[in-house]
Amino acid sequence: MTIIYKIFRAKEYAEFVTNEQTLGAPIDLKDGYIHFSTADQAEETAAKHFAGEDGLKLLVLDADALGEDVRWEPSRGGALFPHLYRELRASDVLSVHDLALENGVHQFAGLLR
């Protein structure tokens, strides 16, 4: 099992729950795939793209279960990031966690594996 993570804003997550699928956040729609992070990348992703935002949700998924629809492609600093080239389905998600914000920093303790 290769665990990957998706961060959603509250509104994006609510729409995902209602529709039971999504093509992602505005950046995902723009780029044509859904952006994910590994455990080593998630905190930097939150700091870079969600700085100071409260009410975030951290979705946990198994990249292996997503099969060939996940491609590992270079991004920040040449690191390989998982990208999903299809809709994200509610059935793909292993778990969801609130991403606490304390003193302007998202708290990942105990959430990443």
Long-range contacts of 13-17 (CB under 8 A, 24+ apart): 13/57, 13/59, 13/96, 16/88, 16/90, 17/90
Architecture of domain 3-103: Alpha-Beta Barrel (3.20)
**Tokens matching residue 87:** 């809709």
What pLDDT is recorded for position 78? 83
Average confidence (pLDDT) over 11-39: 96
Q: 24-52 burial by CB neighbour count: b if 16+ within 10 A, else e? A: bbeebeeeebbbbbbeebbbebbeeebee
φ, ψ (nearest 5 deg) of residue 37 = -135, 155
What pLDDT is recorded for position 77? 80
Report domain extents, the chain.
Answer: 3-103
pLDDT tens across 37-82, in order?
999 999 999 999 999 999 999 999 999 999 999 999 998 788 899 9
